[in-house]
Amino acid sequence: MRWEGGEEIGRPFQDLLPELAIGLGISLAAFYITFEIMVNGLSGLVQILTTEPIISFFLLSVVSLFFLIGYLLRIQIRHETEIRAISDYYERALDSTEQGLAIIDRDFRIKFQNRIALLSIGDATGGRCYEIYFERDKPCEDCRLEEVIGRRRCFRYLREHQDGRIFEVTLAPFEDKDGSTVVLETMKDVTEREHAEAKLREAALILKTMAEGVVITDAHGRIRDMNDRVLTLSGYSREELAGEKLESFFHEDDRKKLTSLLDSVISGGKSESSELRMSCKDGRELTLSVNLSPLEGNSNPGSVIVTLHDITPLKMAEQELMEQVILADQLNTELAIQNEELMVAQEMLEASERRFRTLVEHAPDMIQLIDENGIILQVNPATVSCTGYSEEELLGQPLTVLLTDESKEIFYTEFLWLKEEGVHRAEIGFLSKGRRVIDLDCHCASTGDGCFVLIQRDISERKRMEEELERSRNELQRYLDHILTFNGMLDPDGTLKMANRTAVESTGLPYDEIIGKHFADIYWWSYDPMVQDRLRANIRRAASGETVVWEERVRVKDGFIITQLTLRPVFDENGENIRYIVA
């Protein structure tokens, strides 16, 4: 034991002081007697002692004094030895405790440490607690030392040192040997306990929040504890589950199996697992993956930890998967059949594509493929041949590079209509590389993928022939108009296609109201159905190749006249009846 400012006592030399005092008294008496004998002889010594009683008394007093001093020293040494023994006893007692002890004064100085404190934090006697414990240069803000000393009350708290160790510390007021109040600090290293408790708290938190339900049963299968997930799964409260048989909350068909599994785990000490159905409070039925394991290190032998994992969605997914597999097999069978049909169709399509490609490449008509912006994507050889441009010069160019100015306006208008309707037909003019105008009958259609195919036939010759025919018709019409008799031309079905001015003016009607009507329905004959029937009969006769001549009463704007009509068929080079001339 060490105290600040104290002395160390109990050295062996001090134990010899009583004997040394007694020996010194005897030595002084012996020295005096020896000296007198040597000087005056033995007789002289006897004479002095008998004649001078004061000398004898002094000599006896000196010896007695030294004996008294030696006795008193012996008593003092005995008392000090007893005190040291008591001190050693209490020091050993303090050192034998598992807690560290230290005494701290008002100045925060450590005055005493027992062995455990020395081992825990080293020799800190004389140092200030905040310097030793926390390496600070001033007292801690939440220090309770002054409160313990001032109010003489105890205080307990946990203290973590710089090296990470945790101590449970108790501060209690204590009266020092000089009467002053100091603090008796007891500290116990609880690092392992705190870490273990932290791990237990973590384990409890994990158990509480884990996705699987956890149930602990006793040796009889009764529920002792469970986590919150079990409550969520079953719908029961903790009070409703505690103490009940675990199997009572499972489907009646699975209860015997669960009981057998519990018995197997308890008797065999090995884990078991199975898939069982739980009956929930609200009537739902859950399929659970149940794992049972013996709970080792438990104070209740036979305890079993049961984990419950909800696999209902998985089982439903498996069922759906099985249905999908069956459906997939059916679809695969149908797909195989369709694939065979598709291969046949593909072969037919490829053959059709080859035929179409051959048709396009050898078609006399010009064919182009354009996108929705009118850009040329593909042309056939006829386009190249008729326009004089090469395929490379046309691809990527707008179709308008081939159009005449008049046809460009038509194209801009008609192309918008084509985009909406998908099919269109128009007559346009192409301008060849040599600046020759080509009249075309253009058929347009959408391909369904944002592109359009254009097929054009050169109608320049037809246009020329139509213009020539129109001139011939006009000349014929002018010739007929100068004939004073009735003349006209009928289609094979009896429709009036042409009539001279004399015939038209006789009706007093506009030309357009006569041309295009059936000959028997025109103003001339509509006054009498019998006349109309006779005309139809004669037209049928003319259709057989006969020239029919008859007289008929004709209505004109001024009344009626009697005229002779001749209906003569006109044949083409193949002998087909194409017209009737009526006069």
Q: 423 versus 202: which is more confidently predicted? A: 423
| 370 and 397 Cβ atoms separated by less than 8 Å | no
Q: What contacts 59, CB < 8 A, 6 or more positions away?
A: 29, 32
User: What is the reported pTM?
Assistant: 0.34
Least confident of 241-245, 438-442, 500-504, 551-555: 500-504
| 178 and 211 Cβ atoms separated by less than 8 Å | no
Q: Give me the CATH code for the 210-310 domain, please.
A: 3.30.450.20
Which of the four pLDDT bands, split at 50, 70 and 90, describes residue 10?
A: very low
Which of the four pLDDT bands, split at 50, 70 and 90, describes residue 487?
A: confident
Mean pLDDT, residues 560-564 taken together: 83
Distances (CA, A) of 200 to 204, 213, 304, 436: 6, 18, 19, 99
pLDDT of residue 1: 36
Maximum average pLDDT range among 37-46, 160-169, 549-558: 549-558
Tell me whether domains 98-194 and 476-582 share a fold: yes
Domain parsing of the chain, residue ranges? 12-93, 98-194, 210-310, 363-458, 476-582
pLDDT of residue 66: 66
Percentage of the chain modeled with pLDDT above 90: 0
Strands, sheet with 452-458, edge to edge from the N-terminal-most edge strand = 376-379, 366-370, 452-458, 437-446, 423-431
Q: Kindly tell me if the per-residue pLDDT of 415 is higher than 80.
A: no
Closest by Cα among 379, 375, 374, 373 to 392: 379
> Could you give the 3-state DSSP secondary structure of residue 188?
strand
Q: Which residues pair with 580 in a beta bridge?
A: 490, 569
Parallel, antiparallel, or unpaired: how do β-strands 155-160 and 110-113 relate? unpaired
| 90 and 112 Cβ atoms separated by less than 8 Å | no
Measured between alpha carbons, how far is 493 from 579 in angstroms, rounded to an integer? 9
Distances (CA, A) of 260 to 18, 214, 220, 274, 364: 89, 19, 12, 11, 90
Which of the four pLDDT bands, split at 50, 70 and 90, describes residue 391?
A: confident
Q: Kindly tell me if the per-residue pLDDT of 8 is higher than 50.
A: no
Q: Kindly tell me if the per-residue pLDDT of 87 is higher than 70.
A: no
The superfamily CATH assigns to domain 363-458 is PAS domain (3.30.450.20)
Closest by Cα among 124, 109, 92 to 182: 109
Using the CB atoms, write b or e for 390-413: b if 16+ within 10 Å: eeeebeeeebeebbbeebbebbee
Which of the four pLDDT bands, split at 50, 70 and 90, describes residue 207?
A: low
| 83 and 171 Cβ atoms separated by less than 8 Å | no
Class at the top of the CATH hierarchy for domain 98-194? alpha beta
Q: 132 versus 242: which is more confidently predicted? A: 242
| 449 and 422 Cβ atoms separated by less than 8 Å | no
Q: Kindly tell me if the per-residue pLDDT of 261 is higher than 70.
A: yes
Q: Kindly tell me if the per-residue pLDDT of 55 is higher than 70.
A: no
> Could you give the 3-state DSSP secondary structure of residue 457?
strand
Q: List the end-to-end C-alpha distance of the chain, in Å, as a whole number.
A: 161
- Number of helices (H) and strands (E) in the chain: give both, helices first: 17, 20
Mean pLDDT, residues 332-355 taken together: 81
Helix (H) or strand (E) holding 231: helix 228-234
Closest by Cα among 77, 67, 78, 75 to 20: 67
Q: What contacts 300, CB < 8 A, 6 or more positions away?
A: 218, 219, 224
Distances (CA, A) of 318 to 288, 311, 314, 315: 14, 10, 6, 5
Mean pLDDT, residues 462-468 taken together: 76
Residue range 476-582 in CATH 3.30.450.20: yes
Q: Which residues pair with 552 in a beta bridge?
A: 563
What one-letter code names the amino acid at 259? T
Q: Kindly tell me if the per-residue pLDDT of 12 is higher than 70.
A: no
What one-letter code names the amino acid at 186? T
Q: 488 versus 300: which is more confidently predicted? A: 488
| 155 and 170 Cβ atoms separated by less than 8 Å | yes
Q: Kindly tell me if the per-residue pLDDT of 447 is higher than 60.
A: yes
The chain-wide mean pLDDT, for the chain, equals: 78
